[in-house]
Amino acid sequence: MTEQAPSRLPEPRVAPSVAPTTNSHLDIADVTKDFGSQPVLKGVNLHVAKGGTTAIVGPSGSGKTTLLRLIAGFEHPGSGTIMMNGKPVAGDGVWVPAHKRHIGYVAQDGALFPHLTVGQNIAFGLDAGALPGGRRAVKARIQELLEMVSLDGSMATRRPHQLSGGQQQRVALARALAREPQLMLLDEPFSALDAGLRVATRRAVAKVLGEHGVTTILVTHDQAEALSFADQVAVMRGGKLAQIGNPFVVYTRPADRATAEFLGDAVILDAWMEGSLATCSLGGIPVRRPPAQGKVQLMLRPEQIRIAEDGPIRGVVVDTDYFGPETTVRIQLAPRLSLNGNGHDHRYPGGGEVITIRHWNASITRPGTELSLRVVGEGVAFPVEPTGN
What are the angstrom distances between the C-alpha of 21 and each of 14, 50, 214, 222, 296? 20, 10, 17, 28, 36
Count the residues in the chain: 389
In whole angstroms, give the CA distance from residue 250 to residue 189: 23
Residue among 213, 215, 189 at smallest CA distance from 201: 189
What pLDDT shows up at residue 130? Answer: 66
Residue among 61, 81, 60, 59 at smallest CA distance from 70: 81
In whole angstroms, give the CA distance from residue 33 to residue 39: 6
Beta carbons within 10 angstroms of residue 32's beta carbon: 16
Across the strands, what pairs with 359? 327
Give the relative orientation of helices 195-211 and 165-177 as an angle to the nearest 10 degrees: 20
249 membership: H or E segment, kind and range: helix 247-252
What pLDDT shows up at residue 15? Answer: 54
In whole angstroms, give the CA distance from residue 5 to residue 355: 14
pLDDT, averaged across the chain: 87
**DSSP designation for 273:** E
- With beta carbons less than 8 A apart as the criterion, state whether 214 and 106 touch: no
Q: pLDDT, tens digit, for every residue of 61-85? A: 899 999 999 999 999 999 999 999 9
Residue 68 CB partners (closer than 8 Å, separation 6+): 56, 185, 187, 217, 219
What pLDDT shows up at residue 347? Answer: 41
Across the strands, what pairs with 103? 183
Q: pLDDT, tens digit, for every residue of 362-376? A: 889 999 999 999 999
In whole angstroms, give the CA distance from residue 314 to residue 238: 39
Band of the pLDDT at 337, cuts 50, 70, 90?
A: low
In whole angstroms, give the CA distance from residue 367 to residue 320: 7
Beta carbons within 10 angstroms of residue 289's beta carbon: 8
Q: List domains and CATH numbers for the chain.
A: 24-252 (3.40.50.300), 265-383 (2.40.50.100)
Q: pLDDT, tens digit, for every residue of 269-287? A: 999 999 999 999 999 999 9
In whole angstroms, give the CA distance from residue 56 to residue 227: 10
Residue 234 CB partners (closer than 8 Å, separation 6+): 15, 46, 54, 55, 56, 57, 241, 243, 244
What pLDDT shows up at residue 200? Answer: 82
What is the pLDDT averaged over residues 354-359?
93
Helix (H, G, I), strand (E, B) or coil at 278: strand
What is the pLDDT averaged over residues 3-18?
47
